[in-house]
Amino acid sequence: MKISKSMITVAIVAAGLAGLSGCKNTSGTIVKTDHLTGASTIITENARLAHRVAVTKTTYDEVNGLKRVHITLASDRNKVLRVDYRICWFDANGMEIDPQTKTYRNLIIEGHDGVTVTGVANSPAAVSSKVRVRETSQAE
């Protein structure tokens, strides 16, 4: 059997595309809130997700001596958006407090709707929070 140059080229291109298809951006949108100064910063690490979900409001307060953060996420699409989110808390030195208990939670946002997620610190030493949002399909 004779193999032509075009068949070899097609095989090389197919192998390259198959290798690249396993690579995907698992980052998402991060909202950092400093509960001492009240400053919030939104970091978008995934352009595709940034065009689908927006952070519309960030507020914080205190309940029973523990910090609490409220982040409102809104869908920019007509159809249902499934994302995962995780809220992490940090002390004054920037060290994460109890990272083993912070798992991603599933969130469904209806088309052109907004949902507020809330997190309460598990330690009075918490002075800042970080909310990470990623597409659900990236977690699978």
Distance CA 116, CA 111 (A): 15
Alpha-helix residue ranges (DSSP H) falling in 4-128: 5-21, 47-50
Residue 64: the pLDDT is 92
Nearest to 139 by CA among 106, 101, 99, 96: 106
Q: Which two tokens stand for residue 56?
A: 């519309």
Report which residue type is found at 29: T
Predicted pLDDT of residue 65? 92
In the chain the domains, ranked by start, together with CATH numbers, are 25-139 (2.60.40.3230)
Q: What does each C-alpha distance from 95 to 57, 99, 126 come to in angstroms? A: 25, 10, 9
Taking only the tens place, the pLDDT of each residue in 121-139 is 989 999 888 888 888 864 4
The helix or strand, by DSSP H or E, that contains position 114, with its residue range, turns out to be strand 114-120
Q: What are the tens digits of pLDDT across the range 12-50?
A: 444 443 343 333 344 566 677 777 776 667 666 677 777
pTM of the model: 0.67
